[in-house]
Structure 1
Amino acid sequence: MNPSVDSNLQKSKHKLVIAVDSYWPQKGGVEKAAQSLASSLKEQFSIKIITHRISHNSTLYSTYTSLKKQSTIDPAGNEITLLDSSCAGRLELLPLILWNLPGVKRNAPRFDYLYKFYRTVFKKRLKNLLSDANVVHCFSTGYLARCVTEVCIDQKISFVHSPFVHFGRWGDSPAQLDSYSKAGAIFCPTVFFRNKLMSHYKDSTSIKTEIIPPIISEPCASSFEKEPVQGRFVLFLGRRESHKGLNALLDAFEGIKENVKLVIAGPGATAGSLHENVVDLGEVDDNTRDWLFSRCDLLCLPSMDETFGIVYTEAMSCGKPVVAWDIPPVNEIVQDGISGILVEPQNTVALRSALEKLLSNVTTCASMGRAAHDRFNNYFSAGKIVKEHHRVYRNLTGTNLTGSEE
């Protein structure tokens, strides 16, 4: 396409701004959801991503002052605007160091109070960045969410929140919750999440919510001259955080009689000394990730805490059954006995039994895999969820922003 024609086409599109605490190449559920949204809506909207640089560590101060080198174009060609702080701004943000000082108690009032320093540094720039937006879709559960809410209300911009809150851990302070409630709609990935979020409000009658799962980019088939793993294997794909259940899976897998490997992949410290049938690939690239989904027998991620669980739907999109703990919201995604097996939380004996049931019976495993693929197509496919985004955006703005008939 002629560059001038392409430029004019971009100018004619309505502008969707996606605001997120961190973005590609950071790997995580929220980052993946934001990236999939940007990629899926690129043809209908002029997309701009606003985010902070990926931090070298997890302190509150470094989250908003990182100088780490980062690309300003994502793999789909979408523009990334990095919300950086100046030298003077980094000085003004110094009070945020208090949050991570040893001996200083972390609580919601202190977290909410420290926001004023963030606001002083970033609100003016955010106001300029959002000035031409038709819709803002915010994935932040940090200070960016509060600032987006203030700017959009001040400038009368339509906006929605998709807050991937981990209740009791982050994103659910009183001021954060208040900021989500002011959006034109809160996107909730599951019914369980919506009910839990609404339970934090004294009066939720005026809060508009939509049950819309995140958009999932289906893994692409990948090939390698030398395959990363030989033979049959069960896949664990996720961060090495304690609540993800890797230790429980390792315990359960020790008693597996089938000649099958357990393949571990994802960011974090490697598992160390392992049984000969356990392979730890560490953090993998997207091609390897897609290959693992396409070749595994099943996915097992016995996590105890998920806002949604994108990895489950990714496996289902490849026709793979899932074995996991029977907890919400996982049991809204995986149908026990149909598209996978859900077992009593922390029961490693039951977990081992579920794995053996599928690994020892190829027919049952394949049947559940087909059911998983059907469920993905019926409830979680990108095309279906994109239409839901269009519907909400259209209702908020009173305009068919895509220009297409739906």
Structure 2
Amino acid sequence: MESSFYLKNSAVLQDGAFVPADLAVEDGKITAITQGHYNEKGLPELDGTGLRAVPGFLDVHTHGAAGVDVNAADAEGLRTIGRFFASQGVTGWLCSILTDTVEQTLWCLEQARQVIEGGPYDGATLLGVHLEGPCLSTEYKGAMPEYLLMHTADPDLFARYQKASGGHIRYVTLSPEIPGVAEMIPRLTAMGIVCAMGHSGAGYDQAMACVKAGVRSCTHLGNAMRLFHQHNPAIFGVALESDVYVEAICDGRHLHPGTVRLYLKAKGYDRVLAITDSIMAAGLPDGNYKLGVNDVIVEDGDAKLPNGVRAGSTLTLAQALRNLMKFTGQNTETVVPLMTANPARLMGWTGKGEIALGKDADLALLDQDAQVVRTIVGGRTVYTRA
């Protein structure tokens, strides 16, 4: 597919504001940002009249979409998820493997490796793997199968997983109170893995010790964790007080809009990540679905286990963008970094998350209602609205 083009007549997000500009893209990289029409190399032209170009969205925490569950997805299934995500403005994502058996986890890692190393296709790029578990609290397990949770950290198992993945595990969620977790964090960091804390009943001191050991993020803050108390701020308080990034599921169900505003007030707009935590039901009607080994019932777009515990979401990042604008009263350019620059910075994806010279040409073109019209990955159009 063609990976060079010239985008003319659009408004391009630059330094926090939309400005009239043209973009030149060659071999998947942004090579020029100009005012006026300077297609000096005669590149194929795209007309962006009436559209706004933003960096492609990045989802670092999702369990599936379009009828495919990550824990059961073969390589083609993962590509199916990526194609759906492209329709939502997503250009890069991590597949989140829910706590599962060692054998199934290894199989999932092999499928992900095939897609990651298989090169470009007609969807959002799979940039790596997120392991949600198995070192998680049984008390705050959420949708995690309790019998598969690990009660003592085993760095050798994570090393085995990382080797099996081809080095593509990029993100891991851990509970600070599990014995050995704090000591394991530097080892995981050395493997190239960003450590997050979550699904946890950890007290303040335990959580802060893990931040000092290298934790850089907090998984879906406020969900499946011990909440703030004035005498023990707990993991929740550490997440708000420290410089770690915090994930937020902005579907209006997992977090009240006022809670989202609180996070942004406490952390700033550069330390909050918009994630979906979506399951296979994203993009599909209500019904019965799976999340790993769990049965999930979706009613009115709300995903829950049979016992009523919320189990992921049906959210997309395109909807999260519009929700954030509604929750905060802010414009597109103010909230879009929550799903572009912020995840790129956390994960160390230096070529992504902003529109600048030399960066990857991963773009979402939006209309005036913040609806996705076109998605471009590495200079190649992978989605166009009918």
State the TM-score, normalized to the length of structure 2.
Answer: 0.37
- Which protein has the larger Cα radius of gyration, Structure 1 or Structure 2? 1
Q: Which fold has the larger relative contact order, with Cα–Cα distance below 8 Å and residues 6 or more apart in sequence?
A: 2
- In terms of fraction of residues, the more strand-rich structure is 2
State the TM-score, normalized to the length of structure 1.
Answer: 0.35
